[in-house]
Amino acid sequence: MGLIRGQASLSGQSRRLPHALLVAAVVLDVGYVIALADANGLAGTVATFWLSHATQWVPVALFWIVAMNARIHRPEVVLAAAAVTFSALGDSYYSIAMGSDGYLHSPSVADIGYLMFYPLMLCSIGVFARRQTARVDRAVMLDAAVASLGAAALVAVLLSPLLGDALTGTSVLTMVVNIAYPLFDLILIAAVVGIAASPTVDAGRRWKGLVAGLLVFTAADIVYALLDHVGAYVSDTPLDALWAVGLTLIAWWIHGLAAPDLSEVTPQRPHSTHISLPVTAFGYIAGLGVLLYGAQVPVSGLALGLATATVALAALPVIFRQALLSRMLSEKQRVLDEFDRLDRSKSEMLETMNHELRTPLTSIVGYLEVVRDGGGGRIPAAADDMLAV
């Protein structure tokens, strides 16, 4: 009994600790934003060092606690924990190794940590979405693909200056690193939008927190990259807090997976498909808008290619639906023709039965009349009545 009570107490503590860390992450984010708003004062020192690191490593601790509780039952948690750990390591190294001007020249070791976040997080959300999806038909996959390509085309337009300058690096490694950041941002946003557009993935509000967190995180990357590209980025501003806010939103999703027995958590079935319609429509409108914009203003070939693929792919569901409608109409006509054939067969059968039955019945009635008239001899009155019936 004492052992059972001890295990129950440990389980309760393991559930309370992630909650406490999540609350701490929210409080740290609020404090970080306040400190960044007052970066010129004493709070600026705290914001740029202690709070910046705390907002990175507290979510990491939450991720790994949930991952240890999940063990091998939820690989997406382990992958997400590894992703945020690499990001935190990259950020810590950047803070330690940067120069007096607050910058660290790229490529550096910090880039390894930053870049590893993307493939690991992509694998995490891919595994999680796969667990939520039983069977996906082609129409759903096409809608998700249209949404993904549309979002990617829109992001590619925003990142056109970065993609264009990425190939002008002084070394191959520099070019690879410079082009990896915008491409990873583009792929991550496309994956998140595509999964969000699928009605077969519905894990409740915590899933929406993951989507929001990744979008905030990548939006911070894009804004930073664009500002840095034109030399307008200033460190220790509220923009720096967006990465922390994104991590906290992702941690909120992870906290929702901290169930007493994660191995018994079953995927929820979607209750409706209404979310896929506006997201897919947005993807098509985004692709069409990029094509129209590209006709007026020079944009990257990648953006035009993605936009063209979006518009072309958006036409496929219409073609499939038209083909399906034509097949349904043909099938309906075939069924109607079959009913008409069966009706004619029924009429012919009834006519044949009527003819075949009329001949013997006529003979029977004739002979009965002859018998009753005494053609075969006199019959009793009772028998005559029975023959009459």
Q: At what angle do helices 301-372 and 381-388 cross, to 10 degrees?
A: 160
* Rg of the Cα atoms in the chain: 37
Cis peptide before 107 (omega within 30 of 0): yes
Please, are residues 354 and 370 in contact by the beta-carbon 8 Å criterion? no
Who contacts 54 (Cβ-Cβ below 8 Å, separation ≥6)? 28, 32
Who contacts 116 (Cβ-Cβ below 8 Å, separation ≥6)? 82, 83, 86, 87, 90
Task: Report the distance separating Cα 158 and Cα 222, nearest Å.
Answer: 8
Please, are residues 260 and 11 in contact by the beta-carbon 8 Å criterion? yes
| Closest alpha carbon to 254 in 71, 8, 65 | 65
pLDDT at residue 47 in the model: 59
Task: Indicate left, alpha or beta for 181 from its phi (over 0: left) and psi (-120 to 50: alpha).
Answer: alpha
Structure tokens at 241: 């807090």
Task: Report the distance separating Cα 173 and Cα 180, nearest Å.
Answer: 10
Task: Report the distance separating Cα 80 and Cα 78, nearest Å.
Answer: 5
Who contacts 221 (Cβ-Cβ below 8 Å, separation ≥6)? 181, 185
Q: Taking the chain (389 residues) in consecutive chunks of 10 residues, what is each chunk's mean pLDDT?
A: 42 70 89 76 60 88 84 78 92 81 77 91 83 59 74 81 70 81 86 73 68 88 84 78 89 75 43 49 75 76 78 66 66 82 86 83 84 80 83
Please, are residues 209 and 249 in contact by the beta-carbon 8 Å criterion? yes
Task: Report the distance separating Cα 265 and Cα 261, nearest Å.
Answer: 7
Q: Is the Cα dihedral 362, 367, 371, 374 positive or negative?
A: positive
Task: Report the distance separating Cα 205 and Cα 8, nearest Å.
Answer: 28
pLDDT at residue 105 in the model: 78
Please, are residues 250 and 59 in contact by the beta-carbon 8 Å criterion? yes
Query: Residue written as tokens 């069977």?
Result: 135
Residue 159 Cα distances to 152, 243, 319, 349, angstroms: 10, 19, 33, 76
Please, are residues 44 and 35 in contact by the beta-carbon 8 Å criterion? yes
pLDDT at residue 84 in the model: 92
Who contacts 134 (Cβ-Cβ below 8 Å, separation ≥6)? 200, 267
Helices (H) and strands (E) in the chain, counts: 13, 0
pLDDT at residue 260 in the model: 47
The CB-side HSE value for 73 (13 A sphere, CA atoms) comes to 16
Please, are residues 93 and 162 in contact by the beta-carbon 8 Å criterion? no
| Closest alpha carbon to 89 in 61, 56, 48 | 56
pLDDT at residue 119 in the model: 92
